Amino acid sequence: MSATRLPARAAAPGVTTSARLATKERVFLGVPPKRSEGVVTEKLRAEQARKDSMHPELEEWFARRTWQRPAWTVEELREAKRGRRVSVVLPALNEEATVGAIVAEIVPLTLGPDPLVDELVVLDSGSTDDTRVVAEAAGARVVGREEALPGIEPWPGKGEVLWRSLAATDGDLVVFLDSDLIDFDAAFVPALLGPLLVEPGVAMVKGFYRRPLRVETAELDAGGGRVTELLVRPLLAALHPRLTAVVQPLGGEYAATRQLLESVPFSAGYGVEIGLLLDTEATRGLDALAQVNLGVRKHRNRSLLQLGVMARQILSAVLGRGGPHDRGAAITQFRQVADEWLPTSSDVEMRQRPPMREVLLRSSARDAD
């Protein structure tokens, strides 16, 4: 898909280049503009607003399908369920340090005769620590990846676990939450469910947030989402410009209808989020997507080498849905050992699972025979 080109924007009428530069310099230096510069400053703001604007179609979608301050209450959403069931799924691999606190925050939403959340499942991806024990003690039902879909050999990767979770849950709506979150807020759940429960036509809701970057012992106010900024935004602009208005295309906090999730393939690795985003827009249209502001999201930041492997999987998922052919080569990275730089190659998981609906139909047919 070629990017939609916008017409070039003219400079603000009546504002000379020298006047614009002089005002910008004064603002940069922290000097209040002269009274005579007030009009110039306003025109500069208008000019910048025009530069910052998206394509009109995306602006309209953003205004209608983005909730900057989601305000649905749990009581309102319980009423809006109208018999629909909600599953919350946490994929986990060696997350004993964080999964218990997340589960404990969500458990109150599962209580009572008419809960917002009908089942809370931790889908374990072969943890070797106490993830299962901690999650069960906190109140979750824990399902191993082999238990979720017996008879199908598991592949490595986050997407594989999310795919298998569809066979282990029965909710009409499914909320996915990463299990390495720190200072988790249970308000994520109703915020993600809101558009699915009250807005007709919405099939997937992506969460967006500020992502502090933890570097050694320090925490920067922002800077997380490095793969998003350096890889995914340029890719979307080049190949899928209709999705450039999505704030966090790779975010691991999102919710969708089971009908959608069972109808699309799942990339087995870290390409799962971008793959689901692309397939939702391709099969349901842009209007089937919505996004909500979740505030702040803190999690364990990964090293650049780990992010490189993640980026390779994401790139494969994007190219597999239109674009140049991916030759499937391993990623080669370099580590400094003493005073030498040594190569290390990693074969990354780039396979994808078929739509779960097809797998379940084949299983039912075999059982019938």
Last residue within a domain, chosen from 53, 76, 91:
53
**What is residue 171's predicted lDDT score, i.e. its pLDDT?**
98
**What is residue 139's predicted lDDT score, i.e. its pLDDT?**
98
Query: Do 41 and 105 share a domain, yes or no?
Result: no
82 located within any domain: yes
Query: Do 128 and 215 share a domain, yes or no?
Result: yes
Query: Do 172 and 237 share a domain, yes or no?
Result: yes
- Condensed to tens digits (0 to 9), the pLDDT of residues 349-365 reads 889 999 999 999 988 87
For residues 53-63, average pLDDT = 89
pTM: 0.80
For residues 248-277, average pLDDT = 96
**What is residue 324's predicted lDDT score, i.e. its pLDDT?**
81
Cβ-proximal residues to 227 (8 Å cutoff; 6+ apart), any chain:
250, 307, 310, 311, 314
Q: Please identify which residue in the block is written with the tokens 């350096």.
A: 230
Cα–Cα separations (whole angstroms), residue 8 to 4, 46, 205, 237? 13, 15, 33, 17
Q: Which segments within 172-327 are labelled E, that is strand?
A: 173-176, 181-182, 204-210, 213-215, 218-220, 254-257, 266-267, 289-296, 298-299
Query: Do 121 and 14 share a domain, yes or no?
Result: no
Task: Tell me which residue range forms the domain holding 138.
Answer: 66-362
% of the chain exceeding 90 in pLDDT: 64
**Mean pLDDT across the chain, nearest whole number?**
85
Last residue within a domain, chosen from 53, 78, 95:
53
Query: Do 206 and 296 share a domain, yes or no?
Result: yes
Give per-residue burial for 171-196: e unless 16+ CB within 10 Å, then b. Answer: bebbbbbbbbbeebebebbbbbbbbb
Query: Do 74 and 107 share a domain, yes or no?
Result: yes
**The amino acid at 365:** A
Query: Do 105 and 137 share a domain, yes or no?
Result: yes
**What is residue 40's predicted lDDT score, i.e. its pLDDT?**
61
For residues 250-266, average pLDDT = 97
Query: Do 108 and 47 share a domain, yes or no?
Result: no
- Condensed to tens digits (0 to 9), the pLDDT of residues 123-160 reads 999 999 999 999 999 999 999 999 999 989 999 999 99
Query: Do 239 and 345 share a domain, yes or no?
Result: yes
Query: Do 202 and 336 share a domain, yes or no?
Result: yes
pLDDT band at 97 (very low <50, low <70, confident <90, very high): very high
User: How far is 274 from 117, CA to CA, in rounded Å?
Assistant: 26
- Condensed to tens digits (0 to 9), the pLDDT of residues 222-241 reads 444 789 889 999 999 999 99
Instruction: Work out how many domains the chain is built from and give that number.
Output: 2
Residue 24 in this model has a pLDDT that exceeds 80? no
369 located within any domain: no
CATH number at residue 86: 3.90.550.10
Residue 319 in this model has a pLDDT that exceeds 60? yes
134 located within any domain: yes
**What is residue 103's predicted lDDT score, i.e. its pLDDT?**
98
Residue 306 in this model has a pLDDT that exceeds 90? no
Query: Do 70 and 49 share a domain, yes or no?
Result: no
Residue 18 in this model has a pLDDT that exceeds 90? no
With H, G, I as helix, E, B as strand and everything else as coil, classify residue 126: coil
Query: Do 41 and 150 share a domain, yes or no?
Result: no
61 located within any domain: no
User: How far is 291 from 192, CA to CA, in rounded Å?
Assistant: 8
